[in-house]
A = this chain, B = another copy of it.
Amino acid sequence: MDNLQNFHRTNYCGDLRLSDVGKTVSLCGWVQRQRDLGGLIFVDLRDRTGLVQLSFDDSTDKAIFEKAASLRAEFVVAATGLVRERESKTNKIATGDIEVYVTQLRLLAKSETPPFEIVEHSKANDMLRLKYRYLDLRRPEMQAAIATRHKITKICRDYFDEQGFLEIETPVLTKSTPEGARDYLVPSRVHPGKFYALPQSPQQYKQLLMLSGFDRYFQIARCFRDEDLRADRQPEFTQIDLEMSFVNEDDIMSIQEGFLKRVFKEVLDVDVQTPFQRMPWQEAMDRFGSDKPDLRFGFELTDISDIVKDCGFGVFSGPVAGGGSVRLINVNGHAADFPRKKIDKLVDFVKTYKAKGLAWTRMVDGQVTSSYAKFLTEEENKAILDRAGARDGDLILIVGDEKNDVVWAALGALRCEVARQLNILDPKDFRFLWVTQFPMFEWSEEEGRYQAMHHPFTAPMVEDEDKILTDKAHCRARAYDIVLNGTELGGGSIRINTPEMQEKAFQALGISEEDIQERFGHLVNAFKFGAPPHGGLAYGLDRLCMLMAGAPSIRDVIAFPKVQNASDLMMACPDFVDDKQLDDLSIAVTRREQDEPEA
């Protein structure tokens, strides 16, 4: 194999243009393909910038020509040659006007035939691509996604630095706080029987940093949650995490708007209008059935509980009597796009959100068909359609349930599903929204008690401070989420900064004094020494990158992701370890997964 002694790359492959004609250049990269046409050889050479054609002909030095003839896909070479105009130009690649006539060629490494071809839009199956992730990452769209992620994080770091934020690293080996998702634990060799936990977020550390007077903190932090992985979750993920002292919501929001405006401009050349729209949580639920509404289209929710509460149709009156509601969306002007069969599928769709069914009225060319009209009086039917503003061409979809949450979830998802089917979602239309005034508490059926909707350090709204113990259901928090096109990009809150209010909040959550000390002792004790008013926010960086790179999954913006069962197919981990290692850590395995063939 040749080496790189006395070789110096002068250019990247994808950068060469007509203006370089006549220059001698030295390039390095991988053979994308080699075409041997007898006395003529063409090699497409690839590096992270793109492709360029190398050419060899009968006036090429014989040894070099033979070396060129031996090249196969993914061989690694370094070549020196003359840039010349191409006879048959192509606009398929950016360097299509030129080629490099090679005068020196080094073969740096050979390659076996890869398990799949390194091309754009690979059709290789996901598991194979993840096992050979290092090859999959050679594909242009993966290179682009990772480069975009780099750009986003760089802008993020620049922006927050300019705004006076200090990047401060917080520990990864920290303390387990049994709240929320499961912690990953790390046994300690030095302290037998004791464990560190990997952080679910740097929440407590960043609050302590405010107490320490750092004023503005930020970090791009790795976080860990041992959850059952849903579609787009990773056991380790990355958060843009920040916190500010002596601020209110407006200060925080305007800083964030500046960040998003800048990152969207510099990465996508999109002009984002600021300030963003703000909407109280209650309004978001009532109008969109979601705390992360997609504002690119209408089909808003309308409450018809008052109309149907006394009707003779139990499917409608029952939910209202049971304390819930009946609501509808009007898919204006699109009834014709939803024939009966498609509506049946929508019925199935809402059932996945625990709705018992979906009632509908379809109005096409003056023909009105309805799944429920016959059970109601003429007045009731008319009142519903009037309330919906229904006209010919509209499709009315109705869900009722004894739980408002079910109605919201079903209709909130349904309006997005309908929009998706209608293909009216413009991926280049970016509608940002702050959702504010979240409930402070939410009732947990499972636990039979109120839980913190955000986390137990979130401050109540000043006007609701009195309700924290007396009217939990209506106590609102100084919490906010930043939403883009139906996706939550991030969220945060103003925090409690006095021991008195913190004690009330714990009391409201029914956490005992002992539990408080056990779980949050360091923070609660710290707050006795003068905590400034403070608040912050965290973005899911993986998701932000996915949206901005236009990638279908967060896996595509993570260099080495894990699959749904939390394993890394490339590294083949987690894996069994030596008994000696376990013994050093004073632990033993009590159950052992059967060895199974890799997927």
Chain A: residues with CB nearer than 8 A to chain B?
1, 3-5, 8-9, 28-30, 46-48, 74-76, 78, 108-112, 114, 132-135, 137-138, 143, 146-147, 149-150, 153-154, 157-158, 161, 166-176, 178, 182-198, 205, 208-209, 211-215, 222, 224, 226, 228, 235-236, 238, 245-248, 251, 462, 497-498, 500, 521-522, 526-533, 558-560, 562, 565-568, 570-578, 581-593
Contact = CB atoms under 8 A, between A and B. Distances in A.
B193 A76 contact: no
Contact of A522 (B153, B571, B574, B588): B571
B189 A226 contact: yes
27 contacts: A4-B246, A47-B215, A48-B213, A48-B214, A109-B530, A110-B530, A133-B208, A134-B208, A134-B526, A150-B166, A169-B222, A169-B238, A172-B236, A173-B184, A173-B574, A175-B568, A175-B571, A178-B577, A182-B584, A185-B582, A186-B186, A190-B228, A192-B589, A192-B593, A193-B576, A194-B573, A522-B570
A185 B187 contact: yes
Given A157-B154, A169-B222, A212-B134, A577 B9 contact: no
Contact of A589 (B5, B209, B247, B586): B586
Given A47-B215, A214-B48, A587 B584 contact: no
Contact of A3 (B114, B167, B533, B582): B533
Contact of A5 (B161, B175, B214, B462): B462
A161 B154 contact: yes
A149 B214 CA distance: 13
Contacts of A213: 29-30, 46-48, 137-138, 143
B592 A214 contact: no
A581 B134 contact: no
Where chain A touches its partner, the secondary structure class is loop
A173 B573 CA distance: 8
A169 B559 contact: yes
B529 A135 contact: yes
* 9 closest Cβ pairs, A-B complex: A111-B530, A193-B592, A137-B212, A175-B573, A194-B574, A586-B591, A28-B246, A192-B591, A188-B574
A184 B188 CA distance: 8
A135 B212 contact: yes
Contact of A577 (B114, B170, B176, B583): B176
Contacts of A3: 462, 533
A86 to B, nearest CB: 24
Contacts of A171: 236, 560, 562, 568, 571
Contacts of A568: 171, 173-175
A218 B558 CA distance: 15
A565 B498 contact: no
A200 to B, nearest CB: 13
Contact of A4 (B168, B208, B248, B587): B248
Contacts of A209: 134, 137, 559
A521 B147 CA distance: 28
Given A138-B213, A157-B157, A195-B577, A590 B589 contact: no
A205 B560 contact: yes
A584 B183 CA distance: 11
Contacts of A109: 497-498, 527, 530-533
Contacts of A228: 190
Contacts of A566: 188, 190-191
A568 B199 CA distance: 14
Contacts of A245: 28
Contacts of A9: 246
Contacts of A48: 213-215
A146 B170 CA distance: 12
Given A4-B248, A559-B209, A198 B186 contact: yes
Looking at A194, A212, A565, A574, which has the most chain B CB atoms within 10 Å of its CB?
A: A574
Contact of A176 (B215, B565, B575): B575
A196 B568 CA distance: 10
Contacts of A559: 168-170, 205, 209
A559 to B, nearest CB: 5
Contacts of A157: 154, 157
A196 B528 contact: no
Contacts of A226: 189
A13 to B, nearest CB: 11
Given A147-B166, A168-B559, A572 B192 contact: no
Contact of A573 (B134, B135, B174): B174
Contact of A248 (B5, B158, B194): B5
Nearest to A76: B530
A587 B587 contact: yes
Contacts of A178: 577-578, 581
A588 B193 CA distance: 9
A185 B529 contact: no
Given A76-B530, A110-B530, A586-B592, 6 more contacts: A1-B498, A48-B214, A75-B530, A109-B498, A114-B529, A174-B568
Given A48-B214, A191-B593, A591-B192, A28 B532 contact: yes
Contacts of A46: 213
Contacts of A189: 182, 226
Nearest to A153: B167
A441 to B, nearest CB: 21
Nearest to A161: B154
Contacts of A183: 581
A112 B526 CA distance: 10
